[in-house]
Structure formats: C-alpha cells, structure tokens
Amino acid sequence: MDLHILDHKLRVTSISKTGLEQYTHPLIKLIFLRNRTRCKFFSLTETPENYTVVLDEEGFKELQPSEHLQVEGSTWLPLNVVSNGNASSSSQAVGVTKIAKSVIAPLAEQHVREKDLSVVVETLVEEFNIFREEGGESVPVHIPHATVHPVLIPENQFCVMSLDPDTLPAIATTLIDVLFYSNSPKEGANADQDMECIKFFSFSLIDGYVSLVMDTEAQRQFPADLLFTSSSGELWRMVRIGGQPLGFDECGIVAQISQPLADSDISAYYISTFSFDHALVPEEDIVSVTEMLQSQRKDISS
C-alpha cells in the first residue's frame, strides 16, 4: 500500500453564513456545471459557524474576494492511498490498515491539515512506502505535542453517501435548497455551542466522485433511490473537536482522535473544516468512543 502526496494544490476558504448568497453563482457552477469549469477538487461543508470551501486553484479563481470570504494563507496537499497488493502481514497492521482505510482515505478526499501529515507519516512510516509525487523525497517527521481539545457529541445521526455524478442533475433542486436556502431565521438559532443537534452538511466533488455527508433529517428530503450508502443504511454519530476554533497551526489533532479509534478497531470518517474538526464514528460505537474520549481527557488533566 502506497501513500501518495498528490501534486494538487488546494485552497481552504470560509464563506460567512450571511455571505453565502453572493457566492451562489460560482458555487452552483462548481457543483453542477462541470463543463464550465476545470476545477477537479471541490468540497463545501456547512457547519453552524460558516461554510468551508476547499478547492483547487482552478476553482479558487471563481471566488471573488469579499468581506465574506476568508482564505487560509497556505496551499494544501491531498493524500491518496493506493493499494499495491503488498499488504503487511503483522496482526499489528490491522489498526494501521484501519487508519489507512477509515482515516487516510477519507482525509485524502477531505483535505487533511498539511501539518497533520507528519503525524500520519510518523504513524505509518513502518507499514507504508511514502512518496511525494514530485521527487520521491520522504517527508521530514516532527513528533507533535498536541493540546487535547474539548469535544462535542451532538444528537443527530449522520449518513455518508455517494452519488453517481451523472444523476447529480436529478437532485439539483433539492441540493440547492438544502445548501443555499436552509437558513431560515428559525434554523439560524442553531449556531449555539450547547445545541443538541448540529447543522452539518458536506458535499464534495473530487475527480468526478460525489460524496455527501448529512444528517437523517436532511437525507429525508432527497430521493432515496439516488444516494448510496457505503454499507446499507449505516448511521454515524459525530465527534466535533474543538471548543475554540482550532486554527491552522497546530499539529496532531487528527491523530489525537484517530489513533485511539484505530487502536479500538473503530472506523472513522474525518472531516476538517475552517473552524473545527469532525470525526464520524459508527452509531453502535458512540458509547465506547465517548468513554474513551472522557478517559483521555481525564488522563491529561490529572
């Protein structure tokens, strides 16, 4: 199994809730009109705070600067995990493979923090051959010293889904409704830290593959026959990481959550946004994940 760091430059941006309207035109183009753009990597995630838009430089050109658009200074690299048949034979590898399958692959699609890359490399270096696409150089490894961040576990159940990109037009009006018009004043009150349910919706269109993450309430608005779940009807719960916006400098946030999950053989689907990180874990594991996170926090504070 090889870990490729693609030579694909991504920008991480945030659009304010009130500014979304004025970005409707470029966003609809990037989501629905593939023949009008050369953007190959696009991801839009709504959280209670803002809309995180991660996209390649072709897509980034479409977003006009404004007071509503925040752009993170760095460019980011997507990872891609490619199986080459040389599976590790050690039983220890299960956890690592689990990370690769359940964390790295989603991260590759969901833009891991570049800094977190070193952590991942540290963890995986014995099991994987690691290449940077441009020259075959290995990445220097820094051992991170991460703060343990508070976590929030909202009540809603989430689905992770995919869609045949050719059927994207068939859900266009529903998707536009959910993405651009769901912030009625009533729902706006959700932007509260201690909410029971969280407003979270993620759409990504990467190299022609569509992924959607939404809660079951949003899911009911879509035609059931067009969206596919990875395994039938699997439901996920969310662990949202960070009491304060996390910023972009800190290392090891992903590993802090993903390492103990991998050790416990629990799948995770990880989505970073501009302000916070989000790990989705299977509904049936949420109790043990909660206990694990609580004991992790107790160990640190004691």
Helix, coil or strand: residue 175: helix
What is the total count of residues that contact a copy of itself (CB under 8 A)?
20
* CB 157, CB 200: distance < 8 Å: no
CB of 188 to a copy of itself, least distance (A): 15
CB of 45 to a copy of itself, least distance (A): 19
Backbone φ and ψ of 125, nearest 5°? -60, -30
CB of 120 to a copy of itself, least distance (A): 37
Among 2, 36, 129, 188, binds a copy of itself (CB under 8 A): 36
Using the contact rule CB under 8 A, the part of the chain among 10-18, 28-36, 46-54, 128-136 near a copy of itself is: 28-36
Interaction between residue 33 and a copy of itself (CB under 8 A): yes
Burial class (CB in 10 A: 0-12, 13-18, 19+), 244: exposed
CB of 242 to a copy of itself, least distance (A): 30
Comparing CA positions, the residue from 273, 290, 270, 11 lying closest to residue 119 is 270
Between CA 137 and CA 282 the distance in angstroms is 36
Helix, coil or strand: residue 21: helix
Contacts (Cβ under 8 Å, ≥6 apart) of 224? none
Quick note: the x/- pattern for a copy of itself over 165-204, rule CB under 8 A, is ---xxx-xxx-xx--xx-----------------------
Using the contact rule CB under 8 A, the part of the chain among 15-23, 111-119, 125-133, 211-219 near a copy of itself is: 15-23
Q: By the criterion CB under 8 A, which residues form the site for a copy of itself?
A: 20-22, 24-25, 28-29, 32-33, 36, 168-170, 172-174, 176-177, 180-181
